[in-house]
Amino acid sequence: MTLEIVTSDLLNPVKHGFFTRKGGASSGIFHGLNCGVGSSDQREAVLLNRTRVAAAMDAAPEALIGIHQVHSATVHVVETAPSDPAAPRPQADALVTSTPGLVLSVLTADCQPVLFADPAAGVIGAAHAGWRGTLDGVLEATIEAMLSLGATREGMRAVIGPSISQRAYEVGPDFFDDFMMQDTVNARFFAQGEGDRMMFDLPALGLSRLRAAGISQSEWTRHCTYSTPDLFYSYRRTTHAREADYGRLISCIRL
């Protein structure tokens, strides 16, 4: 089956893709293009899926660079491909590089995958931005790391890929309080749900942070991971279905 990839004109001509679950070798609850080596999926299937992704990015599998994501604001600057692909990956939630040929990647299953590019400067980035990482500044940290490599705010573009939408993201009062403690202006990212529940708009938070950081060329692809099971994996949908595990979507960018 052919891979189905979401792209954005905003990032062109830089090679990139928000990969859906279409075209993968995984089966069962992971059916499709599961690229999460940390999942309980068959390792051979995951590695085959990742090889297909690398080929779609016109790169060798060893050029597909990932990180051990921990919901932080830590950014890893990548200069070369790892000499040992089996070595432990650095703990971080974003990567940046100015090295052509390297494919930066992040994994998500409701969180925001955010791809960055400054084509004129030859600098790219990729961030995994869940609610905690976004609140703690992972997007701003990615921008600062790109600036250190020669990018400019004026030349930078950022695109939020398939993420959970507000209509599917119900949260409780403690979650709401975490945001209010940081800044009461964050109330604009919540709508009233049933009872004491609130509906949280993660992509709106991401876009607000990007634009406040000076990245005016930014957008969300407007794909909801929770609401489109044939295209996307979703941690929350899996939890509601009481399934044992879930697949991970991969998003990539390369110079």
Q: How much is the pLDDT for 23? A: 94
Q: Which CATH superfamily is domain 5-165+203-254 in?
A: CNF1/YfiH-like putative cysteine hydrolases (3.60.140.10)
pLDDT tens digits for 16-74? 999 999 999 999 999 999 999 989 999 999 999 999 999 999 999 999 999 999 999 99
* Gap between the Cα atoms of 53 and 71, Å rounded: 24
Predicted model pTM? 0.96
* Gap between the Cα atoms of 54 and 40, Å rounded: 22
What is the number of other CB atoms lying within 10 angstroms of the CB of residue 92?
22
Q: Report the phi/psi class of residue 110: left, alpha or beta, with left for phi > 0 and alpha for psi in -120 to 50.
A: left
Q: Which residues pair with 6 in a beta bridge?
A: 18
How many Cα atoms sit within 13 Å of 63 on the Cβ side? 19
Q: Report the phi/psi class of residue 122: left, alpha or beta, with left for phi > 0 and alpha for psi in -120 to 50.
A: left
Q: Which residues pair with 104 in a beta bridge?
A: 65, 253
Cβ contact 115:91 at 8 Å: no
Rounded (10°) angle between helices 138-148 and 202-212: 40
Q: How much is the pLDDT for 2? A: 87
- Helix intervals (H) in the chain: 43-56, 131-136, 138-148, 173-182, 202-212, 235-240
What residues contact 84, with CB distance under 8 A and at least 6 apart? none
Mean of the per-residue pLDDT values of the chain: 95
Where are the domains positioned within the chain? 5-165+203-254, 167-200
* Gap between the Cα atoms of 140 and 144, Å rounded: 6
Q: How much is the pLDDT for 88? A: 84
For residues 130-149, average pLDDT: 97
Q: Which residues pair with 96 in a beta bridge?
A: 77, 125
One-letter amino acid at 169 equals Y
* Gap between the Cα atoms of 227 and 233, Å rounded: 10
What is the number of other CB atoms lying within 10 angstroms of the CB of residue 21?
26
pLDDT tens digits for 205-237? 999 999 999 999 999 999 999 999 999 999 999
